[in-house]
């Protein structure tokens, strides 16, 4: 009898402990939600800034109710570190925006697929066969040629006294590099309007994916696509895939008729995998969409922000040019990738630009696969988790004078961009870190060094650098609302 009483007492105490644990378990703090809509109206036109203001009130981990969706926002490196080191497995999958269901992109994209056999296969192909260090090293001469084209264009504008749209020039160079690497084909040139049309298409895709959408907050609205976002994105995806398919079909025809010389570009690799049934044509199409989206617009916008910050800070511009001159001399020799290691201040400029102006203000949303504890609070199953890179990069607890462009902060420190330093995560961290990190970093340093070495720069119409408009427009990529126009001057 006493054994039964002890067992009942033990079970009662255990149940009481579970009850207390559950009652003490609580969501992160946040603003009180309105009925039905929750905190939707607090997003504003620039959610990254709105969430940063809320984190100043409620702390680095906050919870919001966006319609029917519980959203957890991380705004500090301390919380991000705990998330990636302790809970990356709980958060390895995505919350899928309604927009990316366009053209079944969510079921074919390496960016949005859940961790699965298909995702692992695509990830392995990307990191090992398409964007490996060996392939990047082998294609250095190609990048050098594309940067030389950029330099030729700048010199032509200098001779004619014409201004340059820096973002467009950087986009054209990035697109030209990718199209030659992948297809041995020039998709854009500085003297044509093709790159501008391609850039507009890329921005439309990024803008639609990043646009606040009521179908994400109330999933039932996904059936009717109330604002037409998914319909527009389907059109953009189809247009982009149409460009890729035209190139692919042309290559297949030439291979069959033996009218083309053997190539060793990425398309050859993809078509071999297709013949071996390791990739479907749909997977190839959407893999190309991912890579061209990630490898053009983000690189171009980062270079544009870097040049804008340097023009606003002439002393730092002169310091960077002086470093290049000391490292390479005055011979005018073209910068190569091997020279970048001699330019620590240039690398610091890129890091500082990525801190102040991360190419994506939020890492792509994660989804909680189950309840877990983060920073002492409960993250409930199916919650959407956002990492606010914009807030982390401007955290006054981590960065001295966080709103000031100060590349010197990165000199003599070992902070890198590989996802190990959680105060600087422009490419993410953990198992879903961006596979194109190395290519983007190489291109950014090489293009910026080339622009700084070759010419001096001034704003149009005698504008004072202090008056340069640095306002951003919100999308998945954070871009300057007013394109940066600069006039190159001979040194």
pLDDT in tens, 322-370: 999 998 876 567 888 889 999 999 999 999 999 999 988 999 999 999 9
Q: What is the mean pLDDT of residues 463-470?
A: 86
Beta carbons of 419 and 403 less than 8 angstroms apart: no
Instruction: List Cα–Cα distances, 2 to 5, 7, 8, 12, 237, in angstroms.
Output: 5, 9, 10, 15, 72
> Tell me, what's the pLDDT at 24?
41
In tens, the pLDDT along 83-106 reads 999 999 999 999 999 999 999 999
1 pLDDT above the threshold of 90 = no
463 pLDDT above the threshold of 70 = yes
> Tell me, what's the pLDDT at 259?
62
Q: Tell me the Ramachandran region of residue 442: left when phi exceeds 0, alpha when psi lies from -120 to 50, beta otherwise.
A: alpha
In degrees, rounded to 5, the angle at the alpha carbon of residue 226 between the alpha carbons of residues 222 and 230 is: 65
**Residue 359, exposed/middle/buried by CB under 10 A (0-12, 13-18, 19+)?**
buried
Q: What is the mean pLDDT of residues 232-254?
A: 93
> Tell me, what's the pLDDT at 198?
79
DSSP of 425-454, one letter per residue?
-TT--GGG--TTHHHHHHHHHHHHHHHHHH
* DSSP-derived secondary structure letter, 455: E
> Tell me, what's the pLDDT at 23?
38
142 pLDDT above the threshold of 50 = yes
In tens, the pLDDT along 397-423 reads 999 999 999 999 999 888 999 999 999
This prediction's pTM: 0.90
Q: How far apart are CA 288 and CA 240, in angstroms?
A: 9
Structure tokens at 303: 């270079």
CB atoms under 10 Å from CB of 431, counted, come to 15
Contacts of 39 (CB under 8 A, 6+ apart): 30, 31, 33, 64, 65, 66
Contacts of 349 (CB under 8 A, 6+ apart): 306, 309, 310, 316, 320, 407, 448
In tens, the pLDDT along 424-437 reads 999 999 999 998 89
Q: How far apart are CA 428 and CA 479, in angstroms?
A: 19
96-351+403-490: CATH number: 1.10.630.10
pLDDT bracket for residue 449 (50, 70, 90): very high
Beta carbons of 175 and 188 less than 8 angstroms apart: yes
Instruction: List Cα–Cα distances, 336 to 81, 186, 340, 341, in angstroms.
Output: 35, 22, 7, 10
113 pLDDT above the threshold of 80 = yes
Structure tokens at 237: 């995806």
Q: What is the mean pLDDT of residues 208-227?
A: 89
> Tell me, what's the pLDDT at 331?
58
pLDDT bracket for residue 475 (50, 70, 90): low
66 pLDDT above the threshold of 80 = yes
> Tell me, what's the pLDDT at 369?
95
Strands 61-66 and 69-74: antiparallel
Structure tokens at 305: 């922000």
In degrees, rounded to 5, the angle at the alpha carbon of residue 389 between the alpha carbons of residues 72 and 414 is: 130
> Tell me, what's the pLDDT at 7?
35
pLDDT bracket for residue 186 (50, 70, 90): confident
Element (H, E) at 309: helix 281-312
Q: What is the mean pLDDT of residues 26-46?
A: 93
> Tell me, what's the pLDDT at 132?
87
> Tell me, what's the pLDDT at 330?
67
Q: How far apart are CA 374 and CA 78, in angstroms?
A: 11
In degrees, rounded to 5, the angle at the alpha carbon of residue 246 between the alpha carbons of residues 167 and 170 is: 10
The dihedral sign for the CA sequence 87, 29, 472, 457: negative
Structure tokens at 301: 């916008």
Q: How far apart are CA 331 and CA 453, in angstroms?
A: 11
Strands 384-387 and 69-74: parallel
pLDDT bracket for residue 11 (50, 70, 90): very low
Q: What is the mean pLDDT of residues 169-190?
A: 86
Instruction: List Cα–Cα distances, 164 to 154, 158, 334, 357, in angstroms.
Output: 8, 9, 20, 21
430 alpha carbon, distance to own chain's centre = 15
pLDDT bracket for residue 371 (50, 70, 90): very high
Beta carbons of 321 and 452 less than 8 angstroms apart: yes
Q: How far apart are CA 436 and CA 439, in angstroms?
A: 5
If DSSP codes are grouped into helix, strand and coil, which group holds residue 398? coil
Percent of the chain predicted with pLDDT > 70: 92
In tens, the pLDDT along 195-207 reads 678 778 887 888 8
10 pLDDT above the threshold of 70 = no
Q: What is the mean pLDDT of residues 111-133?
A: 91
CB atoms under 10 Å from CB of 15, counted, come to 10
Q: How far apart are CA 149 and CA 164, in angstroms?
A: 14
- Mean pLDDT taken over the chain: 88
17 pLDDT above the threshold of 90 = no
């Amino acid at each position: 009898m006493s054994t039964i009483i002890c067992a009942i007492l033990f079970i009662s105490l255990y149940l009481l402990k579970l009850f207390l644990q559950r009652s003490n378990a609580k969501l992160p703090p946040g603003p009180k939600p309105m009925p039905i809509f929750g905190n939707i109206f607090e997003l504003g036109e620039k959610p990254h800034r709105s969430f940063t203001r809320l984190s100043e009130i409620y702390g680095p981990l906050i919870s919001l109710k966006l319609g029917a969706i519980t959203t957890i926002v991380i705004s500090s490196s301390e919380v991000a570190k705990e998330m990636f080191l302790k809970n990356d497995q709980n958060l390895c999958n995505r919350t899928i925006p309604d927009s990316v269901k366009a053209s079944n992109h969510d079921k074919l994209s390496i960016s949005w697929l859940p961790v699965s056999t298909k995702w692992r296969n695509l990830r392995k192909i990307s990191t090992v066969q398409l964007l490996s260090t060996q392939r990047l090293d082998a294609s250095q001469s190609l990048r050098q040629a594309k940067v030389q084209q950029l330099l030729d264009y700048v010199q032509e504008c200098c001779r004619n006294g014409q201004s340059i749209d820096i973002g467009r020039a950087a986009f054209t160079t990035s697109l030209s590099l990718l199209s030659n690497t992948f297809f041995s084909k020039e998709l854009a040139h500085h003297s044509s309007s093709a790159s501008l049309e391609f850039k507009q298409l890329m921005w439309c895709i990024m803008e639609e994916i990043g646009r606040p959408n009521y179908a994400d907050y109330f999933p039932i609205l996904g059936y009717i696509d109330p604002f037409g976002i998914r319909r527009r994105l389907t059109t953009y995806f189809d247009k982009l895939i149409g460009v890729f398919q035209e190139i692919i079909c042309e290559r297949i025809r030439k291979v069959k008729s033996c009218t083309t010389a053997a190539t060793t570009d990425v398309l050859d690799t993809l078509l071999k995998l297709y013949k071996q049934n390791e990739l479907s044509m749909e997977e190839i199409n959407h893999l190309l969409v991912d890579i061209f989206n990630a490898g053009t617009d983000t690189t171009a916008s980062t270079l544009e922000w870097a040049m804008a910050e340097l023009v606003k800070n002439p002393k730092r511009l002169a310091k960077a040019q002086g470093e290049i001159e000391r490292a390479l001399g005055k011979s005018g020799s073209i910068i190569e990738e091997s020279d970048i290691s001699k330019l620590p201040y240039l690398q610091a400029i890129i890091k500082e630009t990525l801190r102040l102006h991360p190419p994506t203000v939020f890492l792509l949303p994660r989804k909680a696969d189950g309840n877990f504890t983060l920073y002492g609070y409960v993250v409930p199953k199916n919650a959407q988790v956002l990492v606010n890179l914009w807030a982390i990069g401007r955290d006054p607890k981590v960065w001295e004078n966080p709103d000031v462009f100060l590349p010197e902060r990165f000199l003599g420190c070992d902070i890198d961009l590989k996802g190990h330093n959680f105060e600087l995560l422009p490419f993410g961290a953990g198992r879903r870190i961006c596979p194109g990190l190395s290519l983007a970093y190489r291109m950014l340093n090489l293009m910026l060094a080339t622009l700084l070495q070759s010419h001096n720069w001034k704003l149009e119409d005698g504008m004072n650098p202090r008056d340069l408009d640095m306002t951003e427009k919100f999308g998945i990529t954070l871009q300057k609302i007013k394109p940066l126009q600069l006039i190159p001057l001979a040194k």
